[in-house]
Structure 1
């Protein structure tokens, strides 16, 4: 396996606060367990560690709050943000899904419409779509945002690694330029690391799946903020 150069610190886990209740999923209309995130005074952190964020939990949360992000607030629902993101990016080729067992959001930006082949310059026609993503991040400020760059295995490993880094950085910089606090965002390029392939590099379809930038949105709560502050003391 080829190991890419890591730009920022290694992945570390983030815990989230959830409570269980029956709600209607705005994306499907089906009844399902709620993933409401409760603010100050509501519940306690349940379960163990989920997923991961670049650079670790404690410093990221503290930095995000210092940069103007809010703590978790009563009534926030991941389902609702996913619904709004899907509506705002409809027809663009962007794919919005749940990740980390339904505790975070993954926004997949396809290579062909986000960037020209071999380029790290965001296509002008795609900026309006990224504006919708930035608007969602501003509307829901209680989250950490990771931006990941990936390539297929066509070309040299060094070129692919550099391209993945440049693309992740370009998306991060664009979100910041649209008013998303830089303290919330970290980026990392994975190049052609087979661990992150989503398709078969022997086919054009598979290679297209592997060429992508992903935006991972990980909400945090007031309880997470307090825990991070205590760990940082």
Structure 2
């Protein structure tokens, strides 16, 4: 019979193995690494395995040791698979968005693209600006290559004007991005749009520079629930 200590030790070992199961082809690229040098594939696989171990132990009350190991193996493998997939996608996005003004950020298992107002839309308009087509074309090509994400497009404004107008404008801008991406062959079933208006500012609205930063479009990429992601 497994003791509680043995369950923890065994689950930790499985977590480490799950996290290291896949060789990450971007191990030497800084954008796919954590600050410790561990690839995100390994980190997310290991964390997922530990979470799975806890869940597995809770589910199998009659044999907590066995449940922990099964939970660690199953959940850890899935997390490692998405980590590997996201590592590759992040590297490809950074390459395609270089020198476009679009920021690529990695936050846990989510990839975020921040598209500033100076390249996206004219003031008080939801018509795509000429400078925005090149980044959007690059994004569409990436989404057709990496098609196993849910894609949330969120529009934001500064605080100038009425809240209702800003909510409507931000929704229209997000929809314009989604419409263009689908016209370029991106699977519309994976897309969702939302207008956040002046909410969640990333800079102060008290000056022109801050307001310009707040006028933006963000694209959030997340794993699709239930999707199986290859580990290599």
The equivalent of 1:169 in structure 2 is: 175
The equivalent of 2:40 in structure 1 is: 34
Relative to the length of structure 1, the TM-score reads 0.66
Change in CA separation of 1:25 and 1:103 when aligned onto 2, cut-off 3 Å: farther
The equivalent of 1:96 in structure 2 is: 104
The answer on 1:215 being equivalent to 2:219 is yes
- Deviation >6 Å, runs of 4+: 72-75
1:91, distance to aligned residue in structure 2 (A): 1.2
Deviation string, structure 1 residues 173-226 (Cα, Å, up to 9, x no partner)? 111111111100000001112xx11111102222122111100111237xx248
1:203 pairs with 197, 204, 207, which one?
207
**Number of residue pairs matched?**
175
Q: Tell me if the contact between 1:113 and 1:126 (Cα under 8 Å) persists in the aligned partners.
A: yes
1:26, distance to aligned residue in structure 2 (A): 2.2
SS of the counterpart of 2:153?
A: strand
The equivalent of 1:155 in structure 2 is: 161
- How far apart in 2 are the matches of 1:98 and 1:29? 9
SS of the counterpart of 2:133?
A: helix
Deviation string, structure 1 residues 134-167 (Cα, Å, up to 9, x no partner)? 1111111111000001111011112111110000
Instruction: Give the number of the structure whose residues are more often helix, by fraction.
Output: 2
Relative to the length of structure 2, the TM-score reads 0.67
The answer on 1:115 being equivalent to 2:121 is yes
Q: Tell me if the contact between 1:88 and 1:132 (Cα under 8 Å) persists in the aligned partners.
A: yes
SS of the counterpart of 1:98?
A: strand
